């Protein structure tokens, strides 16, 4: 299992490609696969499990135009406060993404 294998089979079998990315240890490719599979609710738990800190604003920009309701749910998950009391992702940047797509 490798990134190359996942990339090669992605267009034919996205679920199998997602498993290849998970096995190869490519968190950004896994996240992209979860987005393509409309499994948005699994993104934050996966990142926590892998101790991976992705660019959630970039992810949100990918999700908003295609599935605004999933984007709202994702925004709720990524703006939760961490142990220090700060939001995981700055709220103003999240709002900016929704405004840029007129999804307020």
Q: Give the pLDDT confidence of 31-77 residue by residue, as tens digits.
A: 988 888 888 888 888 988 998 888 989 989 988 988 888 889 889 88
**Angle of helix 56-63 relative to helix 68-78, nearest 10 degrees?**
160
Provide the pLDDT confidence category of residue 94 given band limits of 50, 70 and 90.
very high
**Angle of helix 27-36 relative to helix 43-50, nearest 10 degrees?**
170
The torsion angle over the Cα atoms of residues 13, 14, 15 and 16, rounded to 10 degrees, is 60
Rg of the Cα atoms in the chain: 14
**What three-state secondary structure class fits 2?**
coil
């Amino acid at each position: 299992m490798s990134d190359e294998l996942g990339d090669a089979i992605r267009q034919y079998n996205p679920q199998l490609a997602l498993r290849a990315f998970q096995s190869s240890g490519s968190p950004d490719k896994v996240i992209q696969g979860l987005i393509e599979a409309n499994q948005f609710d699994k993104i934050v738990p996966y990142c926590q499990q892998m101790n991976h800190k992705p660019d959630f604003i970039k992810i949100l920009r990918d999700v908003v135009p295609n599935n605004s309701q999933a984007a709202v749910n994702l925004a709720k998950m990524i703006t939760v406060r961490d142990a220090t009391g700060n939001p995981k992702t700055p709220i103003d940047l999240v709002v900016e993404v929704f405004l840029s797509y007129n999804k307020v």
